[in-house]
Amino acid sequence: MSNGANIANSQEILERLCRQGSVGTGETAVVTSPGARTAAWAVKIKSLSSYNVYNVRAVVIGDAGSLPVEIGAQMQAVNLAESFMQQGQVSAGTYAVMSRVGEKNVFYVPV
């Protein structure tokens, strides 16, 4: 595609977003940045805190056949695979991939 086609396509998308807009305001903000991505870490579950909230520590995964090495301070993360109203059942020592969503750390480990 040429740059002109890309610009026309981008403009069409922006116009469609503006027409949808926010309820009652008709305003839309679109923000992009090069290299933007969701941060994710490998973590080891240390213990259950409460409900589906766990204490976890980030790990560095080394060469094949070596154990992951825990780094940094312990933090809390929510398991999205479990009910928010019942005690969690993921075993300590389980590894997961944790992401930052808004102000919360989350991971998904089915039980």
Three-class DSSP category at 77: strand
47 or 23, which is more confident:
47
Percent of the chain surpassing pLDDT 70: 72
List the domain boundaries for the chain.
1-34, 40-107
Q: Which amino acid is at 1?
A: M
**H/E stretch holding 50:** strand 40-50
Distance between alpha carbon 56 and the CA centroid of its chain, in Å? 15
C-alpha–C-alpha distance, residues 56 and 45, integer Å: 4
The pLDDT of residue 7 is above 80: no
Q: Which amino acid is at 16?
A: R
Q: What is the largest CA-CA distance in the chain?
A: 58
pTM of the model: 0.65
- The dihedral through the CA atoms of 7, 13, 18, 21 has a sign that is negative
Question: What pLDDT shows up at residue 10?
Answer: 73
